[in-house]
Amino acid sequence: MAQRRTAPDATVYRLSLYHCYLGELLRVGAPARITSRELAEELGIKEETVRRDISFVGDIGRPGAGYEPEVLFAAFTEFLGLSDEYPVVKVGTRGMLEALQVVFPAERYGVRPVAYFSELPEDAGSAVGDLEVRHLTDIPKVLPDLGVDVALVACSPGWVQITLDLLASAGVTGVLLLTPIIRVRKPEGMTVSQVRMPCDIKSLACRCQLPGGSVRAR
């Protein structure tokens, strides 16, 4: 736990990237050993950065010999405070929740949804998979008993602040926010990671310009 607290945010993010990559390898058939150089090449990260990141996790493997993928994956899992099925809650319309299940089948990545909430009253009582969809105003009544720390929020912009406040009141301390909203007020004690789609598209458009600042002919 102490090492996790001293690890920089960028290191923690890269460790989660290594964890996801190793999980994919283990699902399709991992090699007997994997080296920091191979991880670096596959993920486009400097080898010394990979080695430094892994040093936060502990003394794993032998220099030059690489790592057993299963052992390294388990070490990352423990360091990140995850489990085989880390519980999360998702908030969005029923249509969005169904779409998220298609593009992000949570169970495939070691994440287990334990509750679904929608901003639309007409969605309440319907089901996505084997879970009933509740209205998001039920968050304070349902979540405290589930022991959930993290939520994925993909509701419409007008409901974002209300949702964050309700989640905070239910004990959720981390939110991955998928919404076009630009400014939000983070409740005290809550960490919010946001994918700002309009900004991401605009910055991508800038990076796709030709060298020297000229723009491709339209």
Could you tell me which residue, 192 or 217, shows the higher pLDDT? Answer: 192
Give yes or no: residues 106 and 36 share one domain.
no
Is 99 part of any domain?
Answer: yes
Give pLDDT tens digits for 205-218: 888 875 655 444 44
Give yes or no: residues 122 and 179 share one domain.
yes
Q: Report the predicted TM-score, pTM, of the whole model to 2 decimal places.
A: 0.76
CA angle 119, 153, 185 (to 5 degrees): 95
Please check whether residue 151 is in contact with residue 179, taking contact to mean a CB–CB distance below 8 angstroms: no
Give pLDDT tens digits for 107-135: 777 788 999 999 999 999 999 999 999 99
Q: Which domain holds residue 113?
A: 86-193
The whole-angstrom separation of Cα 33 and Cα 36 is: 10
Give yes or no: residues 74 and 135 share one domain.
no
Structure confidence at residue 212 (pLDDT): 55
